[in-house]
Amino acid sequence: MVEIAELTSQDTLKLPADIAARFRPDDRFVIWVEGDTLYLKRINPVSVTEVVAEAPVGEPLSMEEINEIVHQVRQRRRAG
């Protein structure tokens, strides 16, 4: 499918209706440019409540432990 998007005078990107319908107004995207190509990828950040639910009670966690918990939550979200 090829569609045309438009950059408005307010520096917003206006998507064609059938493409915009695939997303919600609060969706977030990572954007990068390679040459004259613009890439958009929707991101689904892990919520803090999901990470906290995985954290053990007691001593403060190390950065490595926090990273591992976030990694596990992200893996489950992708699988489910």
* Residue predicted with more confidence, 1 or 42: 42
Residue 51 has pLDDT above 70, yes or no: no
Residue 34 has pLDDT above 90, yes or no: yes
Residue 56 has pLDDT above 80, yes or no: no
Residue 17 CB coordination number (10 Å): 8
Instruction: Output the CA angle 20-24-28, nearest 5 degrees.
Output: 95
Q: Rounded to whole angstroms, how far apart are CA atoms 15 and 35?
A: 21
Residue 8 has pLDDT above 90, yes or no: yes
pLDDT at 37: 94
SS3 readout for 42-71: EECCCCHHHHHHHCCCCCCCCHHHHHHHHH
Which pLDDT band holds residue 4 (cuts at 50, 70, 90)? very high
Q: Rounded to whole angstroms, how far apart are CA atoms 14 and 6?
A: 5
